[in-house]
A and B are shown apart, each in its own frame.
Chain A
Amino acid sequence: MEQGFTMNQALAEASRCLLCHDAPCAAGCPASTAPDVFIRKLRFRNIKGAAKVIKERNIMGGACAVVCPTHALCAQGCTAAGLDKPIRIGELQRFIVQYAWDVGFQPLKAGQPNGVQVAIVGAGPAGLTCAAELAKAGFGAVVFEKRSAAGGMLQWGIPNHRMSREFFAHELEDIRSLGVEFRFNTPVETQADVDKLRADGFAAVFVATGAWRCTTLDVEHREGSGLEDSMSFLVRAKDQPDAVRKELTGAEVLVVGGGDTAMDAAVSAKRAGARDVSIVYRRSFQEMPGSPEEKQAALDAGVHFVILTQPVDYVIADSKITGARVVRTRLTTEDASGRRRPENLPDTEHVLAADLIIEAIGLSPDPSVRKLDALTIGDGERIVVSEGQRASTDLPLYAGGDAVSGASIVVKAVRDGKAAAEAIRKELGR
């Protein structure tokens, strides 16, 4: 993970801020983290006050500072861009949060206990935010997580080079210090599990199980080693870095896809010692959904970009992947997403050799969420919610994060967690 700002660098950047009367950055944050307020506080050297603003409004303020696509959110409307370039809001936010960690300033306090217990299913950013908000309001918040640690995508999906586990551990400690309890290796998957929670005295349940299911390419030959989905690879790279390094040193890797997950996988593979890592994407560089920062990071890492190229099948020999059969594409008219549709070009088929192919072409909620009978499941296996993240008209069930939105960004999960906690507080608070 790169070094953040020093104090003087942060103050210098903050001094570029125009301290707008009606700051567009504030409106750009889904979690209402109030960048206009925390930058002003930093500017006037009230750094603890700035940390308080961030953490009170966004318990995941440290992680968001690092992983947020700020160019599309807070920094998008930055007035300073009218003079030169937008304020580096993410870096400032990270500096402030880290400052509080460094000096041991804990701005949050648990609320006066109200005796009401709420179960949170899933310890990703949505679940963690909901739990923390409830703990601040005096609720007993217990997080049930089927994996062995908290954080969800932030724990396993974001590579170390973007956010280290040491950094993220501080954020989890902030949450734990509010009295949030965790039950790891404890899946809550069926309606019976939920009913039992309610019988055990949990007055409400917030479901935030995320979107971990990887979309696969629909091709004829998939059965062989050396084909892996993005999440499986990213989890391995994070949990078993030595094994992955041993496996990839000198290897050729193809990453299929053009989003941030593809960039993360490609850079992780490159950093693990792969000789050549190629991102294979069917449209143009500009149309890749990955954020400009992550695309640049991949370029800087030496990742190759094989654009306007569509895999049509994999090549397998002795039950092992040896490459991808691809064709060239050309862009035609715009599709519903406003991007130009790729069309395969005839007589262009060729093989790209690979020791490992990583598919990073989309994530969605796991269909197993259908086992929760009380929920309504919509398109893309997404849980349907109404006002206040309410997921059932009969039962006190709430849902949020990627399980509701489909694969999205952390700060939107934070927003959902806050909204659900607020609704639960209104309904059940004493």
Chain B
Amino acid sequence: MADDSILELQKLKVETITGRVLVDDVDVTLKRGEILGLIGESGAGKSTIGLASMAYARAGMRITGGRITLDGTELRASTASARRHMRGKSIAYIAQSAAASFNPSMTLMDQVCEAPVTHGVMSRADAEVYAKQLFRKLQLPNPDTIGERYPHQVSGGQLQRVMAAMAMSCRPDVIVLDEPTTALDVTTQIEVLSLLRDLIREFGTAGLYITHDLAVVAQIAHRIMVLRHGKMIEMGETKQILEQPKTEYARALVNERREAEHLALGIPDKVVQPILRVANVTAGYGPTAIVKNVSFDLAKGETLAVVGESGSGKSTVARIITGLLPRWEGEIDLSGKSLPAALASRAPDTLRRLQMVHQMPDVALNPRQTLEQIIGRPVSFFFNALTKDVRTRVHELLALVGLPEDFATRRPGQLSGGQKQRVCIARALAANPEVIICDEPTSALDPLVAEGVLKLLKRLQDELGIAYIFITHDLGTVRRIAHRTAVMLKGEIIAQGPTAEIFSPPFHPYTEKLITSVPEMHTTWLDEILAGRSSVLGSGGPAIPDSVLQARAAARRVVADPTKKDSVEWLAAMQVLSDGQKPEQAGSFNDLETELQNVKGLTEI
């Protein structure tokens, strides 16, 4: 081991208790003060490596091979208590979801001071003084009193910074950062990223930075390791990985990101009368309007992107158009005919014309049906086709979305995420629709798979002339697929027009903030942005819990459940749905829901 290396993993192997290999033969060497980025798609084993470097394996996993050497001590051969003394003191962890990683019934200060006091690094009084210094460095509001608060009283972005303070409270040699900014909105991500970077640099801490976003890791890491399926694919200096990746996989990852940066489609020149017209629509949940006075047109064969941060009301727009959430005011026309507000009062042929592709293909397909049943049902339902014809059509549709015919007998469980999303698209196409609403159809997919799905959507549009409403938070996707773009903020459309225009000056101030917040693929991007935007820090933008989507879905469920009206759950759910500006509530809502369900479940003895 070289003298200046602080953490060394040799031939690390982690398996599940059922014997599936999660991390296979990975070597990592970290020098003092160096930051190594671990990058890869989901299931690449990044987080498992991060935890294994603390000699920790989650329930159901076991570290089965290799050496873990921290500051000269081999951890796997040490006693359990020696390992425990290293954790928190010499090596600390920052998790993805701050909202879930804080104990809801302890004050922040108690939690921050816990490690230094337990490890005997400082007395409680010293630890408090030091914590306040850290709070100040991390530019938290009211650094002297924020420690007296409870986690749910602080916003998500602030909580993420408190977690950084908690990790630094013992001045560890190594810090493991597991997607620390992924759960944050794009505009908040910058602040947290730059503060984390400054803090780590100031203390000379070494770090493992785990992320799926190449552009983010480019801002902070000295070296990058690319992982796939638990194996190392490539490792090198950050500049080298970004500019001259050696392996094909790394090249594909880099190119996918780069392509998204500067690309915008022209508006199709065929100016025809709109196929879908949304005029002054307002609707929401309970007494609060989530979407206010929204208007736009959609022409045949055109893609309109609706972009915004979480809580901006963009998904609600989709629910209003499909009739799942009846509009309160305004008008929606499809092919010149007014659409009834509620789903139940729409004619089958109207329903056929308007189809939807959901964000998470995992839950959009009935796991108990075969693909033939899933794709065939709209065919027989809308066109009264014979069984034989249905089968032919299913094969046709599978071929159209690039899946082999023999998939017809498979069930969704046997498909990968990208394949499932193709099935969802095939199901939408089965109805011969005129408009397809795509609600973040690629955001649950890994980058390379997502690119394939986007290309498919584009090809289908060229061939079949379908119009898309494309709801997304990812500006890279917008540049690639949308002819026109509408930007949403707090339930209103603040700018709309041809994508190329939206993405070039003069910007609406919010659009500019949104655009400049997307990390770019060169190492100096963060510095440039910070230099250009001195007022950003401390503005305390909105932050998101780790699973806004699930929380929102859960909240919708509760609100829709009339028996729960005015119950604790209902109140919490209303808060989640109506309070777009404070979505960190959603995290607490999730807990509250589980808690109450626990209680309710118990009554059934």
> Are A and B subunits of one complex?
no
